[in-house]
Amino acid sequence: MDRFSSRPTRPGVPQQQLRSTEPEPVAEPPHGEVPHTSTVSFRRQEPLRRFSRRTMMIVGGLIALLIAACLGWMVYQATIGNVIKGDKYQAVFLSNGQVYFGKLQRANNEYYRLTSVFYLQTKSTTSDAKNPQTSDSNGVELIKLGGELHGPDDEMMIERTQVLFFENLKADGKVSQTIKEYNDKNK
């Protein structure tokens, strides 16, 4: 009725009658009957939107990125575990320039554990019968960890960030053969 309120009134109909705001009286229906009205209007209810479409896209993208990162991390962890061959010795090269030899395994996400540890040292004039020596002509010998002054255990925990790289050693290589000979002598 608002659309027509600005039109001039029809002749013979008073202006007050057209703009009546008072509802017309409704008769009570007889008991048990449902009233039938033709002026019932149905409004389409819009669902409540708590988040905009853009927000939902951002959240979905972040979830997808998180899932991809987790899968990548799992693949990386599985690959590192398969690269370290448990039946072989490894050479572990550290960021300080030191190289250690032994059996390498992952202790946790932050550390490697190296057991049966050996390291290289330049040959001295006196030879220690307890430590094996390589037959290299370059003046280095392979020393077993544990005979030092401070008496460390034959195990090292190495922070992963300090490891530059590691290599699996061949069973017939000089280092592996020297370690095997040492282990055979000291059983």
pLDDT tens-digit series, residues 35-56: 555 555 556 666 656 778 888 8
CB-based burial, 32-63: b 16+ in 10 Å, e otherwise:
eeeeeeeeeeeeeeeeeeeeeeeeeeeeeeee
pLDDT at 63: 93
Long-range CB contacts for residues 172-181, cutoff 8 Å, separation at least 24: 174/134, 174/135, 174/136, 175/89, 175/91, 175/101, 175/118, 175/134, 175/142, 176/88, 176/89, 178/118, 178/132, 178/133, 178/134, 178/142, 179/89, 179/101, 179/116, 179/118, 179/132, 179/142, 181/132
Terminal Cα-to-Cα distance of the chain (whole angstroms): 106
Domain residue extents for the chain: 55-84, 86-185
Read off the pTM.
Answer: 0.50
Cα 62 versus chain centre, distance = 13
pLDDT at 92: 92
Which residues in the chain land under pLDDT 50?
129, 134-135
pLDDT at 68: 92
pLDDT at 137: 56
Instruction: Note the CATH number of domain 86-185.
Output: 2.30.30.100
